[in-house]
Structure 1
Amino acid sequence: MLMEYLKELECKMIHDYQKKDKMATSIFVQGPIIVGAGPSGLAAAACLKQKGIPSLILERANCLASMWQLKTYDRLKLHLPKQFCQLPLMPFPKGLPSYPTKQQFLSYLKAYANHFDINPIFGKQVVNAEFDHVCGVWRVKTQEVIMKKSIVIEYVCQWLIVASGENAEEFVPSIEGMEQFQGPILHTSLYKSGSMFCGKNVLVVGCGNSGMEVCLDLCNHNAHPSLVVRDTVHILPQQIFGKSTFGLSMWLLKWFSVHFVDQFLLIMSHLILGDTSQYGIQRPKIGPLELKNLYGKTPVLDVGTVAQIKTGKIQVCKGVKRLAHNAVEFVDGKVENIDAIVLATGYKSNVPSWLKGSDMFSEKDGLPRKPFPNGWKGEKGLYAVGFTKRGLLGSSIDAKRIAEDIEHSWKALKAKPLA
């Protein structure tokens, strides 16, 4: 009965739409359209399928989890234990280490898609998505190049799930003198291994988890890295008392306040890592968990970089003022010869470039205007997954909520008469 109703609704929607635009050809999608085939999009599709709701994933790349497959360095491992990174309805296979490698995680994602029979349409760049108030549907236009010809296809649906993520596009800062610098300048999305920099002086700009780990990787390949630390940052040990710092924090928060747990983390960090300020790394005045809750700024989980900073193998530098042919001048006036630069400057959302007519996402940063845990739902069947700044755990939470919410509308279609 429901499928017959949806087919009738499909014909009505396409008829109404074609009356509005006689030149249009549209593909009607019975369930939600999901933009993005990363972990968040897969999680949403799996949760929907569990409830008997079909979906269609549109992915601009030619593979699952393109960020993980194409834009991450070789030594990458999950920064949090696997139990906090598994997707809904399917745990990691037994026998994996606590912190799975990049390849192990990719294998898990591929197995996940196979298990739930999720088959994204690859090579579909969404260039415009907008709600049609006349027909009451979302119109999602994709563009792809076939035989050197640009092909535009439009999909029509009632629910649109934005799963393109916080990390859709590389953020590359503008630094004075970049065009004059003679060495390579690459974003971490292009960095694979320190082997190509053996014996070189490499400047790493950015002191988040990626920047710190790239510095460690450069050390392991006999390069000479310098780390730019422009702002304050919390560095925590990855483990405390042999337990995951993140997991221990979540357990303590069940009984104690955020302020208390923050103080505990800072004391343990001082005992394990020492006073990082004497090496040029200042901590924020706000505690690590409170800072995360207020501003979404993730603390760095140390995997050995601090030890290399202490030995002097990694030099900590102030902000960059300008670049020259083979040197960098820092804001404190110091000048150093540099052979290459790695920009560990992060990523940004690209949602404002293609989602039109909705105020759910901020034009400034491309993230939902409502903070976690309320940023997953917009109006007129619009949803967001993977924008919580809480990693895969946040994506799983939102995927479940979205599926439950759409289920109510899906069931209501049975009783809704056609106009």
Structure 2
Amino acid sequence: MTSAQPRLQMRETVSETLAAMENQQPVAIVVGAGPSGLATAACLKHLSIPYIILEREDCFASLWKKKYSYDRLHLHLAKQFCELPHISFPSTYPTYVPKTDFLHYLDEYVSHCQISPLYKRSVESAIYDGGSEKWDVKAMNLSSGEIEEYSGRFLVVATGETADAFVPDVERLNTFTGEVNVVSREMVLPAIASTKANVVVFENGKSHPFDTIVFATGFKRSTNKWLKGDDYLLNDNGIAKASFPNNWKGKKGLYCAGPARRGLYGAAMDAQNIANNIKMQLLM
């Protein structure tokens, strides 16, 4: 094979995948538009690999933009270890980037990389079709209530470790007249036994009126609800089974970005490894 043939093959592959994208048949399907999903999308676009990104919420980086991160939050690592691929933090940013600056960085990242997630799409199932050698994904459009179907050769799980809020079973919780929130796991008072109107009864027998209940019980993975046939990539806690640096790659075109507990630095590495591996698969 001459050196010209691989380049021709690459051009044909990209042309075919671009045509597939126009017919709503992306090469890669990314589930989750948090930092891991955004980084993966940027790396795929950088290599001209068509993709779609499905996000359950109505915005990207919802854990950062909504109520699950407090206003005074700062990245706990120096900024050079928290950059997403291809775009650095502005030199004017402090070493430990505050939440407001990080959100501005993500806004610029999405704009510059032309990332357009499909919002309010809750993935119901993802099944590998051995006949077509593609992943068939069904997602609920939360705006219309309709089930949408997508198909792609590659599937990237980028839903993170905090997909679903964990709310404990509390007797008559539905009768509580105040607000109920869930935050990351922290130390709390004795467990709640029951509620009535705005009164909370604890297991030690004491009761007090409250306007708001904040469950500091953390979150749990949702992937096991919709990803079918995965017994090798993620464990029951949503963490990659394989150890670093091979935590990102599964089988049959299945990948995961960010679940190795290595923060934004690890997510950025996963995203680049995934995109490079997909490109290599397309050229084979």
Counterparts of 1:379 and 1:45 in 2: how far apart (Å)? 20
Residues 401 and 151 (structure 1), Cα distance of their counterparts in 2 relative to 1, 3 Å cut: same
Counterparts of 2:248 and 2:96 in 1: how far apart (Å)? 28
User: Over residues 381-401 of structure 1, what are the superposed CA-to-partner deviations in whole Å (9 max), with x where a residue is unaligned?
Assistant: 100012112221221121122
Q: Return the offset for 1:3.
A: 4.9
Match among 183, 203, 215 for residue 343 of structure 1: 215
Counterparts of 1:184 and 1:114 in 2: how far apart (Å)? 35
Q: 1:157: which partner in 2? A: 152
Q: 1:96: which partner in 2? A: 93
Residues 125 and 183 (structure 1), Cα distance of their counterparts in 2 relative to 1, 3 Å cut: closer
Residues 98 and 344 (structure 1), Cα distance of their counterparts in 2 relative to 1, 3 Å cut: farther
Q: 1:106: which partner in 2? A: 103
Q: 1:390: which partner in 2? A: 262
Asked if 2 retains the 8 angstrom alpha-carbon contact of 1:57 and 1:121, the reply is yes
Match among 396, 402, 405 for residue 277 of structure 2: 405
Residues 174 and 371 (structure 1), Cα distance of their counterparts in 2 relative to 1, 3 Å cut: farther
Unmatched tracts of structure 2, length 5 or more: 1-7
Asked if 2 retains the 8 angstrom alpha-carbon contact of 1:386 and 1:392, the reply is yes
- Specify the code of the residue in structure 1 equivalent to 2:206: V
Give the total of aligned pairs. Answer: 270
- Specify the code of the residue in structure 2 equivalent to 1:97: P
User: Over residues 134-187 of structure 1, what are the superposed CA-to-partner deviations in whole Å (9 max), with x where a residue is unaligned?
Assistant: 1111112222155xx533332221111111111111111224564566654322
User: What TM-score do you get using the length of structure 1 for normalisation?
Assistant: 0.57
Q: 2:5: which partner in 1? A: none
Q: 1:242: which partner in 2? A: none
Match among 224, 227, 245 for residue 352 of structure 1: 224
Q: 1:185: which partner in 2? A: 180
Residues 7 and 156 (structure 1), Cα distance of their counterparts in 2 relative to 1, 3 Å cut: farther
Asked if 2 retains the 8 angstrom alpha-carbon contact of 1:39 and 1:392, the reply is yes
Q: Return the offset for 1:357.
A: 2.1
Q: Map of 1:189-204 to 2, 5 A cutoff?
A: none
Residues 410 and 172 (structure 1), Cα distance of their counterparts in 2 relative to 1, 3 Å cut: same
Residues 371 and 345 (structure 1), Cα distance of their counterparts in 2 relative to 1, 3 Å cut: farther
Asked if 2 retains the 8 angstrom alpha-carbon contact of 1:386 and 1:394, the reply is yes
RMSD of Structure 2 on Structure 1 (CA): 3.0
Is 1:35 aligned with 2:31?
A: yes
Q: 1:139: which partner in 2? A: 136
Counterparts of 2:17 and 2:119 in 1: how far apart (Å)? 27
User: What TM-score do you get using the length of structure 2 for normalisation?
Assistant: 0.81
Counterparts of 1:117 and 1:407 in 2: how far apart (Å)? 20
Residues 173 and 374 (structure 1), Cα distance of their counterparts in 2 relative to 1, 3 Å cut: farther
Alignment partner of 2:24: what SS?
A: strand
Match among 121, 124, 128 for residue 125 of structure 2: 128
Asked if 2 retains the 8 angstrom alpha-carbon contact of 1:77 and 1:99, the reply is no
Asked if 2 retains the 8 angstrom alpha-carbon contact of 1:375 and 1:388, the reply is yes
Identical pairs, percent = 38
- Specify the code of the residue in structure 2 equivalent to 1:94: S
Residues 75 and 6 (structure 1), Cα distance of their counterparts in 2 relative to 1, 3 Å cut: closer
Q: Map of 1:70-81 to 2, 5 A cutoff?
A: 70-80=66-76, 81=78
Q: 1:46: which partner in 2? A: 42
- Specify the code of the residue in structure 2 equivalent to 1:88: P
Counterparts of 1:393 and 1:10 in 2: how far apart (Å)? 30
Asked if 1 retains the 8 angstrom alpha-carbon contact of 2:123 and 2:139, the reply is yes
User: Over residues 204-246 of structure 1, what are the superposed CA-to-partner deviations in whole Å (9 max), with x where a residue is unaligned?
Assistant: xx42xxxxxxxxxxxxxxxxxxx52xxxxxxxxxxxxxxxxxx
Asked if 2 retains the 8 angstrom alpha-carbon contact of 1:144 and 1:151, the reply is yes
Asked if 1 retains the 8 angstrom alpha-carbon contact of 2:122 and 2:142, the reply is no
Larger radius of gyration: 1
Residues 182 and 395 (structure 1), Cα distance of their counterparts in 2 relative to 1, 3 Å cut: same
Alignment partner of 1:143: what SS?
A: strand
Which protein has the bigger helix share?
Answer: 1
Counterparts of 2:257 and 2:235 in 1: how far apart (Å)? 17
Unmatched tracts of structure 1, length 5 or more: 14-25, 190-205, 208-226, 229-316, 413-419
Residues 363 and 86 (structure 1), Cα distance of their counterparts in 2 relative to 1, 3 Å cut: closer
Is 1:87 aligned with 2:53?
A: no
Residues 182 and 6 (structure 1), Cα distance of their counterparts in 2 relative to 1, 3 Å cut: closer
Counterparts of 1:77 and 1:40 in 2: how far apart (Å)? 19
Is 1:329 aligned with 2:202?
A: yes
Counterparts of 2:139 and 2:216 in 1: how far apart (Å)? 31
Counterparts of 2:130 and 2:266 in 1: how far apart (Å)? 31
- Specify the code of the residue in structure 2 equivalent to 1:322: A
User: Over residues 4-56 of structure 1, what are the superposed CA-to-partner deviations in whole Å (9 max), with x where a residue is unaligned?
Assistant: 45666899x9xxxxxxxxxxxx8321x32111111101111222233333322
Asked if 1 retains the 8 angstrom alpha-carbon contact of 2:13 and 2:283, the reply is no
Counterparts of 2:269 and 2:151 in 1: how far apart (Å)? 27
Q: Return the offset for 1:118.
A: 1.9
